[in-house]
Structure 1
């Protein structure tokens, strides 16, 4: 079930009809409160969320969603909302689209996120478990286990980025490379999605996120996974 949360009737109806025609079950909500009631009574598998809602900040709803669930979220923003878009990514959004957009673009982004949330690693090509610095990443179940044995929650975007890095330890990965593989998005030098995701991962796996030892920044080039992977 996909939830489209947008108070603009034309945008909501266009997306609902387009996704229904593509074979998805869809529900619409105009306010944050309607979305909260919808989540209470139905299983929601994906959320398209407008940052601006009439009864409050969509970012507050993003925070509430992420506190309860790892359901994928794509933000709907305007070009003037760059700061809010970055905050939304920090809060755990998986991707974003900017207005104006085509329903076809939104569908492509949803399919990209769904692919990475549902895809299991091919045992013939990859080892299922990757271990580094006491951590264990299960490429099939998307489960990350800490050195103390606790499960650390990852959003789909965080998992995809971490999986990509651990598959290429010691290799400098440019932001262009990472963004292209993860989001199928045309490269924009002002796009900070990868940087935000790296920051989120560092806060989860680094002993001191301010002085990272696992995911290092190669200034002007990108990022490198510095730990040995077994």
Structure 2
């Protein structure tokens, strides 16, 4: 086979001070089409992540000096690259903080290799625009001044571009496609991250909270995203009520 016919490896940045773990991740992902670049300090990781060369970033929370939270906080000022956080087992607080800072998803440090691959595929699938051509010409999804086009991977509010992470974009698209109808937390999580809902999993609620902040939506008097208590969420046209 001509080397030029082989699929190009997908660039992934792993930021973790555990060099052995980084090596294990690299060795596992390489046969699955990932080219892993490693950084072992938060400062070096942030600089590399800002380069725009990577499809995703796998970011450890606990690092000496600049920790993963600070890296993510600074990164989100200029980049929406998908970020998968590595958290200590059972540390729900770490997961929530990471999601609130703009992480797309998280993995406990006890992750299996299959789970890592599945989560990577999920967060990157949502961030890749379709190829040019007729299939890329998607119909706008509209709710009042909110407009989203999946083909161009662009969302605007009153003509201003919204800086959304891949998962936020996917959640908003899913809600817009079901405008006026309730989407359960279970269905939202399964559709946007390809994993099952756990009753203790607050990730969807955190992502929706971040979406509301970016939409300028007051949860007590929402213009767009309405909470259906105990069930999930419903998106309405601005001013349409619940």
**Fold shared per TM-score above 0.5:** yes
- Specify the alignment match of 2:72 in structure 1: 62
Residue 42 of structure 1 deviates from its aligned partner by 7.1
1:181-209: per-residue Cα shift (whole Å, max 9, x none)?
A: 11111221010111011111111224534
- Specify the alignment match of 1:154 in structure 2: 164
Do structure 1's residue 217 and structure 2's residue 227 form an aligned pair?
yes
1:56 to 1:28, Cα distance in 2 relative to 1, 3 A: same
Distance 1:118 1:221 in 2: 30
Question: Aligned match of 1:29 in 21, 28, 39?
Answer: 39
1:43 to 1:18, Cα distance in 2 relative to 1, 3 A: same
Do structure 1's residue 205 and structure 2's residue 221 form an aligned pair?
no
1:40 to 1:136, Cα distance in 2 relative to 1, 3 A: closer
Residue 156 of structure 1 deviates from its aligned partner by 0.3
- Please give the TM-score of this superposition, normalised by the length of structure 1: 0.90
Look up the SS of the partner of 1:216 in the other structure. Answer: strand
Question: Aligned match of 1:129 in 130, 140, 148?
Answer: 140
Distance 1:158 1:191 in 2: 16
Do structure 1's residue 17 and structure 2's residue 49 form an aligned pair?
no
Look up the SS of the partner of 2:34 in the other structure. Answer: coil
1:4-41: per-residue Cα shift (whole Å, max 9, x none)?
A: 11112232111111122212111111110221343466
In the TM superposition, 1:160-171 aligns within 5 A as: 160-171=170-181
Distance 1:70 1:7 in 2: 23
Unaligned runs of 5+ in 2: 1-10
In the TM superposition, 1:171-186 aligns within 5 A as: 171-186=181-196
- Please give the TM-score of this superposition, normalised by the length of structure 2: 0.86
Do structure 1's residue 88 and structure 2's residue 98 form an aligned pair?
yes
1:137-192: per-residue Cα shift (whole Å, max 9, x none)?
A: 11111211121x22111110000000000000111111111011111112210101
> Is the contact between residue 55 and residue 124 of structure 2 (CA under 8 Å) also seen in structure 1?
no
Moved over 6 A (4+): 121-126
1:53 to 1:218, Cα distance in 2 relative to 1, 3 A: same
In the TM superposition, 1:109-128 aligns within 5 A as: 109-120=119-130, 127-128=138-139
> Is the contact between residue 95 and residue 106 of structure 2 (CA under 8 Å) also seen in structure 1?
yes
> Is the contact between residue 202 and residue 215 of structure 1 (CA under 8 Å) also seen in structure 2?
yes
Distance 2:137 2:236 in 1: 20
Residue 125 of structure 1 deviates from its aligned partner by 11
1:166 to 1:200, Cα distance in 2 relative to 1, 3 A: same
